[in-house]
Amino acid sequence: PPLPDGPVELFIGILSAGNHFAERMAVRKSWMQHRLIKSSKVVARFFVALHARKEVNVELKKEADFFSDIVIVPYVDNYDLVVLKTVAICEYGVRTVAAKYTMKCDDDTFVRVDAV
């Protein structure tokens, strides 16, 4: 979904891996359906680094174009990149979304959007 024109209360950056399509779909079909996200008061985006296998990156790009909810971090993924992906989430929350609050979670996390 496109970024809202109005103020954003909360930005949620979701750490994910290139081959975690099923996990991203589970998030999209569950808590990303919450009315606060639909109303644009809360914005959520997946942060994914490039995969070592090129065919995974091709599918990731198609998914990013289709859903418009993925930020691709231009590094080949490994666990040491968690810090860089976290910094990317913070920068996106401040510079791109200008959200009042920024939150980071993983793609296997269920977020109670109403409680946050």
Kindly report, residue by residue over 3-35, the tens digit of the pLDDT: 988 899 999 999 999 999 999 999 999 999 999
Confidence of residue 81 (pLDDT cuts 50, 70, 90): confident
In degrees, rounded to 5, the angle at the alpha carbon of residue 101 between the alpha carbons of residues 11 and 93 is: 45
pLDDT at 79: 85
Cβ(99)–Cβ(93) below 8 Å = yes
The CATH number of 10-106 is: 3.40.50
Query: What pLDDT sits at residue 64?
Result: 98
Q: Quick check: helix, strand or coil at residue 14?
A: strand
pLDDT tens digit sequence for 41-79: 999 999 999 999 999 999 999 999 999 999 999 999 888
